[in-house]
Chains A and B, each alone.
Chain A
């Protein structure tokens, strides 16, 4: 059983800002593994462990520095990492990103391809469907339970109407929710060993992708302008020093909500 997990490096929550000159997310500061991807890695490790053998491969698109985030996944227990990194791919939108990832995934030929629930930077929660379509593979999203047996992924998933149960023959693409598991913490041994695990960097040409299909050139959407949001009023954050409840009650009374 070979399981590929698509992961992303994102800026730390506190450091998120858009660069006004490029209109892209500023990726120069502290970065981390997208937290939702840890659920997908955990689920991949569980599927591998319950099937007795197999391989978990992390696949990502991002700058060379994204290897740091991939190492976190390797420390959790993934076997190796593939990073698609090419200057021509910077600023890729859904169409361009899904193309690059699909090409990298096609090279791997995994039985199961997992995604986390969303990217915490772009709030995107759609990439899996575009990748599944490019690979012409069956797709199930919002999985809250996953089991793999008899060449099928058996998925319980949540929609607006409750819970569905869906079967998809392998190879298949499954996007898991953050409720599916509690990701393990990397052990010290895992962290020490992560650096030695295979980490491959691929450029557009390694994937047989035309640079014109990637990055801003290959993107079909664009950011035109940045503006201020409608005022929501001030947000106030206080530390509880024993008077927190009283302060809430006073606030509600002042707002005539009591």
Chain B
């Protein structure tokens, strides 16, 4: 019954989101972790602090690149050899692919986008906001193993544990699992002030129409004393640097005020900013999903509204 938490790492450190899920697991009782990579023993040892009694370590040169399929092989073996019936994952590009691959491999149920996991009448029940968060669905598993993938930021890491026992996991990889190869691996950029710390964020999306219009966003951000963020679409298009990207594959932020300019509010973006205090949206498409969760939404031409707003903010502040 002890859950096993997939612990992701980057740059020699376990990532915050995984540690948060580990802490959640620890709050339900005993919890184990698994760290898969190359040269990861030191990072694995730190999982004890966040509540793991035992951490499996799959340390192999073949596991160096953060690709999902070899990780499915390692997890499958752990489940089959040691009978784990509950596996917990924190949302990431890697973890989602690992969890879904493992679900197919084990014919196991996977519930995703969970914001909580509770024990109800002896059974585990996941909480999942759905349909633009208009409803919360209680989801369950009809059999074991149960796989759960949690939304980013659902929990916080808690340093409540002690020392974890490290044990080697068996590494036996399928040919097809190692067929995809990493040619060039991403490294986190560390330039500029982190948008995670900002109290006010003004973010621009594809609705700006072109990179030159980001100056509207920058001027409003400056007037408000805030930072500038961007959506994946405009970062991929090269309009703004990746270090400012908010969303599923970017940063998760929760400022007091988030102003979304020309942003439709796709899930990819929403998961990175939905816990902001107040959300204001300006978009010309009245059907954009952003209006379903913005506290104040204005349907109109951002080229008209944003410069006016910048002037009004400057007037009020002076």
Contacts and interface: CB of A to CB of B under 8 A. Distances in A.
Q: A and B from one assembly?
A: yes
B300 A240 contact: yes
A240 B141 contact: no
Contact of B280 (A98, A134, A137, A252): A252
B292 A179 contact: no
B72 A247 contact: no
Interface stretch (A68-76, A163-171, A200-208): A163-171
A96 B16 CA distance: 32
A132 B300 CA distance: 43
Interface size range of chain A in the complex: 35 or more
B184 A255 contact: no
A189 interface: no
A27 interface: no
A49 B160 CA distance: 57
B211 interface: no
B103 A238 contact: no
Contacts of A166: 67, 180-183
A139 B297 CA distance: 39
Interface in B281-301: 282, 286-287, 289, 291-301
A247 B297 CA distance: 10
A149 interface: no
B317 interface: yes
Interface in A131-188: 131-134, 136-142, 144, 154, 157-169, 172, 177-180
Interface in A233-258: 233-240, 242, 244-249, 251-253, 255, 257-258
A85 interface: no
A118 B132 CA distance: 14
A154 B308 CA distance: 46
A191 interface: no
Contacts of B135: 18, 226-229
Residue with the highest number of chain B CB atoms closer than 10 Å, among A128, A157, A226, A237: A237
B113 A139 contact: no
A94 B297 contact: no
A251 B111 contact: no
Contacts of B66: 159
B30 to A, nearest CB: 24
A224 interface: yes
A16 interface: yes
Interface stretch (A56-64, A104-112, A215-223): A215-223
A152 to B, nearest CB: 10
B292 A235 contact: yes
Given A18-B135, A133-B104, A221 B142 contact: yes
Interface stretch (A1-9, A40-48, A119-127): A119-127
Given A95-B107, A126-B99, A235-B297, A179 B232 contact: yes
Nearest to A164: B186
A34 interface: no
B286 A237 contact: yes
Interface in B150-192: 174, 176, 179-189
B97 A249 contact: no
B133 A229 contact: yes
Interface stretch (B34-42, B52-60, B88-96): B88-96
Contact of B305 (A144, A180, A245, A253): A245
A168 B67 CA distance: 11
Contacts of A23: 137
A139 B184 contact: no
B267 interface: yes
Given A160-B93, A224-B139, 6 more contacts: A13-B287, A166-B181, A221-B110, A244-B298, A248-B309, A251-B296
Interface of A: 13-14, 16-18, 23, 93-95, 98-99, 117-118, 122-134, 136-142, 144, 154, 157-169, 172, 177-180, 219-230, 232-240, 242, 244-249, 251-253, 255, 257-258
